[in-house]
């Protein structure tokens, strides 16, 4: 293998730039040429491809977003689109591709691998919802953004003795809500993986007030219900007044945390190592503190593992 490329796809996550940087630097260290594909798979189809140098990735490790940009591509979902992509890869002499993104992006990588271009995937999404890896790039930064918001809201909650409901991202995965709720000292955490019972929540809120607790914070993953809906139900069913805060897109941005920069560096370098050996159809990830590569198909076929212990801990500490 003489030349590889790298692209970012799907929702952006802090640390994507650090991963791009690692891919480029490791590739050059290994004597490979490396190109950047701009605007994700759509850019690949359109041939938005540029050779990258060490200097191309200077001063980006600390930046949020992705210098390669990202985009949706309806065209890539068609076989014609993917063949155009393959043509561009050949035209540019690219023999392997690193795809940085979430599981939607990984599907594309699997298909390109099957069409003959070995792809290796680097998991980057703030939701931490990719099967086979315990950590995705961006999760740690998003977590810190969420607890910063919780800390700010606690100032008002304490001063006014109020209950706040904070809605965080996570349609199918509750990791962001669970970890941030635990780290933010939330009294109640609602996640898609665990059933909630409204009467029990109401009971907790009331017993807290009973023993003189001045404020309460509830963290809810958007996949369970919206903060507005929960507020409405607490009001209707128990007469409890709450304030809501929907954190929204700020969770996606910001300078990556130290940890996200470190795992982005590890994942990016590992992806090049694997690709250099001519292997494709693989994902990179972290398992029990070790950087591993595993079959891309596992991402789609195996169930995501939920950390029940941590949920139990969050319950015990919020008595």
Name residues contacting a copy of itself, limited to 93-132 (CB under 8 A). Answer: none
In whole angstroms, what separates CA 131 from the centre of its chain?
12
Q: Does 236 bind a copy of itself (CB under 8 A)?
A: no
| Residue from 56, 226, 242, 255 in contact with a copy of itself (CB under 8 A) | 255
**Is 105 part of any known ligand binding site?**
yes
C-alpha–C-alpha distance, residues 228 and 243, integer Å:
9
Active site amino acids = 127
| Residue from 159, 171, 198, 302 in contact with a copy of itself (CB under 8 A) | 159
Q: Does 74 bind a copy of itself (CB under 8 A)?
A: no
**Is 185 part of any known ligand binding site?**
yes
Among the listed ranges 82-90, 101-109, 143-151, 199-207, the one in contact with a copy of itself (CB under 8 A) is: 143-151
C-alpha–C-alpha distance, residues 44 and 252, integer Å:
24
Q: Residue 192, SS3?
A: coil
Tell me the number of residues near a copy of itself by CB under 8 A: 84
Q: Does 282 bind a copy of itself (CB under 8 A)?
A: no
Q: CB within 8 A of 167, min separation 6: which ones?
A: 220, 221, 222, 226, 227, 244, 245, 246, 247
- For residue 118, the minimal CB distance to a copy of itself (Å) is 21
**Is 11 part of any known ligand binding site?**
yes
**Is 243 part of any known ligand binding site?**
yes
Q: Does 77 bind a copy of itself (CB under 8 A)?
A: no
**Is 250 part of any known ligand binding site?**
yes
- For residue 30, the minimal CB distance to a copy of itself (Å) is 8
The pair of structure tokens assigned to 156 is: 């008002």
- Give φ, ψ of 290 to 5 degrees: -115, 135
Name the nearest CA neighbour of 181 among 314, 316, 317.
Answer: 314
Q: Does 191 bind a copy of itself (CB under 8 A)?
A: no
Which of left, alpha, beta for 291 (phi over 0: left; psi -120 to 50: alpha)?
beta
Among the listed ranges 96-104, 112-120, 155-163, 193-201, the one in contact with a copy of itself (CB under 8 A) is: 155-163
Q: Does 51 bind a copy of itself (CB under 8 A)?
A: no
Q: What stretches of the chain show up as alpha helix (H) in DSSP? A: 16-29, 40-46, 79-91, 103-114, 139-160, 175-184, 198-210, 227-238, 258-276, 296-301, 308-317
C-alpha–C-alpha distance, residues 171 and 191, integer Å:
9
Contact, 73 vs 82, CB < 8 A? no
Nearer to a copy of itself, 113 or 179 (CB): 179
Name the nearest CA neighbour of 193 among 317, 289, 305, 79.
Answer: 305
| Residue from 66, 92, 188, 293 in contact with a copy of itself (CB under 8 A) | 66
DSSP one-letter string for 130-155: -TT-S--BTHHHHHHHHHHHHHHHHH
- For residue 116, the minimal CB distance to a copy of itself (Å) is 29
| Residue from 202, 245, 294, 297 in contact with a copy of itself (CB under 8 A) | 245
Q: Give the residue ranges of the annotated binding site for Mg(2+).
A: 103
Q: Specify binding-site residues.
A: 11, 21-25, 72-73, 102-105, 125-127, 154, 162, 169-171, 185-187, 211, 213-215, 222, 243, 249-252
């Amino acid at each position: 293998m003489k030349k590889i490329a790298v692209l970012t796809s799907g929702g952006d996550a802090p640390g994507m730039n650090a991963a791009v940087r690692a891919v480029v630097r490791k590739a050059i260290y290994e004597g490979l040429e490396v190109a950047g594909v701009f605007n994700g798979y759509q850019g690949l189809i359109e041939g938005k491809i540029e050779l990258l140098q060490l200097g191309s990735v200077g001063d980006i490790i600390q930046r949020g977003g992705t210098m390669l940009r990202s985009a949706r591509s309806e065209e890539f979902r068609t076989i014609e689109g993917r063949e155009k992509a393959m043509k561009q890869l050949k035209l540019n002499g690219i023999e392997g591709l690193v795809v940085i993104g979430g599981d939607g992006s990984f599907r594309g990588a699997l298909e390109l691998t099957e069409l003959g271009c070995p792809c290796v995937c680097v998991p980057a999404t703030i939701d931490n919802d990719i099967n086979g890896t315990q950590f995705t790039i961006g999760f740690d930064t998003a977590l810190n953004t969420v607890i910063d918001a919780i800390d700010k809201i606690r100032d008002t909650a304490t001063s006014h003795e109020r209950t706040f409901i904070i809605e965080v991202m996570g349609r199918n995965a509750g990791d962001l809500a669970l970890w941030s709720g635990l780290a933010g000292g939330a009294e109640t955490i609602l996640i898609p993986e665990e059933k909630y019972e409204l009467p029990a929540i109401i009971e907790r809120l009331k017993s807290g007030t009973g023993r003189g607790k001045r404020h309460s914070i509830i963290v809810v993953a958007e996949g369970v219900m919206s903060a507005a809906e929960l507020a409405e139900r607490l009001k209707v069913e128990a007469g409890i007044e709450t304030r809501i805060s929907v954190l929204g897109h700020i969770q996606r941005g910001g300078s990556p945390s130290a940890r996200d920069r470190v795992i982005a560096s590890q994942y990016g370098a590992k992806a090049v190592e694997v690709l250099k050996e001519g292997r494709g159809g693989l994902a990179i990830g972290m398992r029990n503190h070790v950087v591993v590569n595993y079959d891309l198909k596992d991402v789609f076929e195996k169930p995501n593992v939920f950390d029940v212990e941590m949920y139990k801990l969050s319950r015990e500490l919020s008595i």
